[in-house]
Amino acid sequence: MASSGFVLLDKIAGETSFKALFPLKRVFCTKRVGHAGTLDLRASGLIIAATGRATRLLPYIEAKDKCYTFRLHLGYETDTLEWDGEVVEQDVRICHPGAEGDGNQCRNPLVTRAALEAVLPQFIGDIDQIPPKYCAVKIDGRRASDLMNRGRDVELKPRRIQIASLKVVDEGKVTDGCTGKCFATFDLECNCSKGTYIRSLGRDLARALGTFGCVSLIRRHRIGNVTVDRAVRGDQITKEHLIPVDQVLDFPVVRLNDDQVKAIRLGNWVPWRTPVENLSTEPGSERFVFAADKEGSVLALCHYEPGRIMPKFYLGEDD
């Protein structure tokens, strides 16, 4: 059986998340690979991939909060909500022949950094967000993006997301390939929950300012406590880049003796009287622990209840 664990990938822009996994299949000689949190084709940054039985842990990775940076283009909107899509809306204020500016950049004195920062608080906390029409959300079993590519328009329902923080970090930079004319560009950083679409966020920020918008240079820097500076490009992956699951997921680890390991492996619960530190205290949360052998190698994900540990699924290798 192939070794189980996580690999931290730094996906390049222009590569699908699915294609980013190909090197793992080759290096670890297995088809059992997966990832948590798909990135858009044009986005770059951190993907946490898994091999072997560790793929069963991916839902717990996907649920983690994330951090992105992106460039907001104000003044036009495209069908994909990306900077180089087909223009569907163009704010014509000042963007006309002879307007101040050059190329795809022109000016609107109403769209300033101060104006943008004034609307940011509207997007902090729990908000409803409509996903982009070109996305992986399924409608009657088909991806919305696939339906759009076949000429069918789609209507997507709002989804509840949470944005913990949103701030401007730079302004005035230019991205090549813009299909519309923008009044201004701003680089932002966003810490948010699972399910947040940065492209939709750019659209909604622009509309709050009374104009249109799209985004470029989306990059994911963090998933949970894992940052992209620990990640490697796909063509650099070796077997040494496989890391233990407890270095990514922060569930407490309990060490078992040989008899307890056998019981857990057979699907039986074991008595546990020792206090477990750092258990989740959130209301309604499952109190997970990793069960490890005497050497500290994680063998199973378990539920903790006062007085016992019950296996959820086995992660160790077969004998």
User: Could you give the residue numbers annotated as active site?
Assistant: 40
DSSP secondary structure letter of residue 43:
-
Rounded Cα distance between 316 and 296, Å, is: 12
Q: How far apart are CA 26 and CA 35, in angstroms?
A: 16
105-106 and 101-102: which strand pairing? antiparallel
Query: Regarding beta strands 288-292 and 253-255, do their DSSP bridges make them parallel or antiparallel, or are they unpaired?
Result: parallel
CA–CA separation, 292 and 221 (whole Å): 30
Give the other-Cβ count within 10 Å of 296's Cβ. 11
Element of type H or E holding 138: strand 138-139
- Cα angle 176, 181, 187 (rounded to 5 degrees) comes to 60
Give the span between the Cα atoms of 162 and 68, in whole angstroms.
14
The token duo for 109 is: 């004195």
C-alpha R_g of the chain: 23
